Structure 1
């Protein structure tokens, strides 16, 4: 500690003790006059300015918080099916992805026949094998039934300009949606 610092510390302690003594009523030969209060106020102002000046030279400490509005990436329902459908059109993953698409649609068709069509699981599997679950031959053949597609529909599929796999999958989804409704050719609910 430097000499000037010790001197300021001593003056500060003496002034504090003397101020407390005067306030407490101990008479030190000093009156609590306006001049004395002015000197104490000036000393307090100088000390405050000294602290402000010292604070200007320090770097502020800040905390970086995360963004409270950060959005979490949530997968969209059905996006994996769309990915399989897109990769089934590619050359490298064509057959594995096509099998995943067909297996998934077949499971959904069987589930729809059981849940909404009122069929037993064995009966639903038999309807899928024969193609009797729908009146759309494209959807029935896509799920493995040995149903012939009329030449007119083959030409229409060819001339549509769309991917044949995507068109067949779309028609199969539409046929699955019709299961158990008034448009269902496989029969009414039981």
Structure 2
């Protein structure tokens, strides 16, 4: 808005229209997310979920000086959060030795999540941010086409949240994981899986899955 206030004439009108379109897209994606959440609460054949890659985790995590300054092993964690109660939450985790954090890895994790769905599910809506290298690309789109051709799911919808306004349920998962880890030292991948379970102690811990890609 600071740039808009300094603009003049046609440039100001153009920026104003772009800003209004931005707000309209933000409101539209949020309305769509809430509508799908309400539908998922009453329709057992419909599932709505959101997914996102957490910030890069590391091994080792310690307060020891030499460990802090040493080379770390990067760990990636894709989280999926289902909108309808009991709000099933999934963590698909791998390290940089097993794969990167591109569309192939993200697609493989999403496919594994689809395999957990009940046979009665016929329609799925997924929400994510607009990261082109991970979510918004031809490979993930091809995955959804593959799913409707080979599984019991007949319809898939992928909705992208507006850039800068991608607040989703998975954000609370990431915050809970970081809070659970605050006093725990990490020296191997299995300890991260334990942290994931500690972040949600009242739910089935088998929902945390290690995905070797």
Using structure 2 for the length normalisation, give the TM-score: 0.22
**Which structure carries more helix by proportion?**
1
Which is greater in Rg? 1
Using structure 1 for the length normalisation, give the TM-score: 0.24
